[in-house]
């Protein structure tokens, strides 16, 4: 297991694009850490620098006590899994999985034992004598994972390995990846734009935006207490309801003739209130009046969008709501967050 440390890591491409802007990150030994963010946020570039496929413009990459910033990929002891399978079509599954071991000083019996063990863990034993071109996309990605794992590297690097797969296959393989990582304890850095993947897999989620790190935390912390307006809006389906207003000296949040008390906060002035849809409810005694504009069905719940004088507010509910209905809403402020709109950061 390896500790990964990124120290002021930055990457500017030849065209002047600043893909990564001096980030700091520590991935502890044995942790499963997910880089989450939209396209162009710098997550894949970060992963490629760790892998040795991109050279940092500045900053350092440490694996344990070794600075590998200038080391070639072959000397970094990493197992890389790409979004696209990168298998040899003329080889069998067995040969593909065993290929990374060809230049290692291990006996044929140890090689065969490793391949058999990985194949069993990933559920590809019946496929070992088939050629990769005969496999489904999900099975090809299992083989790709096996190739990375068979080397027993110090760290796994995974670049959206489930991105090209159907939903059912993705869910099954997601479970396999997490189970395998928990059994082996290998440090893992995983890239995705899919927040469901990130929240379900990670020990720690690193939310990136514009080449910077917005927040590092457990999935629970990132969801419940987003540290910035970006994270509040990006994480969650839908994201947090965000309402602009002001906090007076009396610690009362005022917006459009509606007031909420936040006695514990020290912030004063302009503020943005954030609250998840599941902490907004329909109530005859609610302060906020509105009209349901649309009700969306998600299988196990509904989300009603309510037009109010505070803007559109999303409400998670167990029952379908009638479009056009007049309702009143109540907010559970125990689960609300406040942000400074000038900095975009959470306030206390």
Q: Which domains does the chain have, with CATH numbers?
A: 4-230 (3.40.50.300), 238-346 (2.40.50.140)
Q: Mean pLDDT across the stretch 305-317?
A: 97
Q: Mean pLDDT across the stretch 274-298?
A: 95
* Joined tokens for residue 21: 């802007």
Confidence (pLDDT) at 334? 94
* Joined tokens for residue 203: 């020990």
In a 10 Å sphere around its CB, with 0-12 CB exposed, 13-18 middle and 19+ buried, how is residue 221 labelled? Answer: middle
Q: For 209-256, what is each residue's pLDDT tens digit?
A: 999 999 999 999 999 999 999 999 999 999 999 999 999 999 999 999
| Angle between helices 167-184 and 137-150 in degrees, nearest 10 | 10
Q: For 111-125, what is each residue's pLDDT tens digit?
A: 999 999 999 988 899
Q: Among candidates 222, 214, 220, 226, which has minimal Cα distance to 338?
A: 226
Cα–Cα distance list, 252 to 179, 268, 271, 312, 329 (Å): 48, 9, 11, 22, 19
User: Alpha-carbon distance 153 to 47, whole Å?
Assistant: 16
Q: Mean pLDDT across the stretch 245-272?
A: 93
Confidence (pLDDT) at 85? 63
How much is the pTM?
A: 0.91
Q: For 2-59, what is each residue's pLDDT tens digit?
A: 999 999 999 999 999 999 999 999 999 999 999 999 999 999 999 999 999 999 999 9
Q: Is the pLDDT of residue 176 over 80?
A: yes
SS3 at position 203:
coil
Which of 148-152, 181-185, 276-280 is the most confident on average? 276-280
Confidence (pLDDT) at 264? 82
């Amino acid at each position: 297991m390896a500790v990964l440390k990124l120290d002021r890591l930055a990457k500017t491409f030849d065209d002047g694009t600043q893909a990564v802007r001096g980030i700091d990150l520590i991935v502890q030994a044995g942790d499963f850490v997910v880089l989450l963010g939209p396209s162009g946020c710098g997550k894949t570039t970060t992963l490629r620098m760790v892998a040795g496929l991109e050279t940092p413009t500045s900053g350092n990459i440490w694996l344990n006590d070794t600075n590998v910033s200038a080391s070639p990929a072959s000397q970094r002891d990493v197992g890389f899994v790409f979004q696209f399978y990168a298998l040899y079509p003329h080889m069998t599954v067995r040969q593909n999985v065993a290929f990374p071991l060809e230049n290692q000083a291990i006996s044929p019996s140890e090689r065969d034992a490793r391949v058999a063990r990985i194949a069993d863990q990933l559920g590809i034993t019946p496929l070992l004598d088939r050629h990769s071109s005969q496999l489904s996309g999900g099975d090809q990605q299992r083989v790709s994972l096996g190739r990375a794992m068979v080397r027993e590297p110090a760290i796994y690097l995974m670049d959206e390995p489930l991105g090209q797969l159907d939903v059912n296959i993705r869910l099954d393989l997601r479970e396999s990846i997490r189970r395998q990582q928990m059994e082996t304890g290998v440090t893992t850095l995983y890239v995705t734009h899919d927040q469901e993947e990130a929240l379900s897999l990670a020990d720690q989620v690193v939310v990136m935006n514009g080449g910077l790190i917005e927040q590092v935390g457990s999935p629970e912390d990132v969801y419940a207490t987003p540290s910035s307006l970006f994270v509040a809006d990006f994480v969650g389906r839908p994201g947090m309801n965000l309402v602009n207003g002001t906090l007076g000296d009396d610690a009362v949040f005022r917006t459009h003739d509606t007031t909420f008390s936040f006695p514990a906060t020290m912030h004063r002035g302009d503020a943005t209130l954030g609250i998840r849809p599941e902490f907004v409810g329909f109530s005859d005694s609610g302060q906020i009046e509105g009209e349901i504009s649309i009700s969306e069905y998600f299988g196990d719940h509904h989300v009603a969008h309510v037009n109010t004088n505070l803007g559109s507010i999303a409400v998670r509910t167990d029952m379908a709501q009638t479009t056009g209905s007049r309702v009143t809403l109540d907010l559970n402020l125990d689960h609300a967050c406040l942000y400074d709109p000038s900095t975009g950061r959470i306030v206390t």
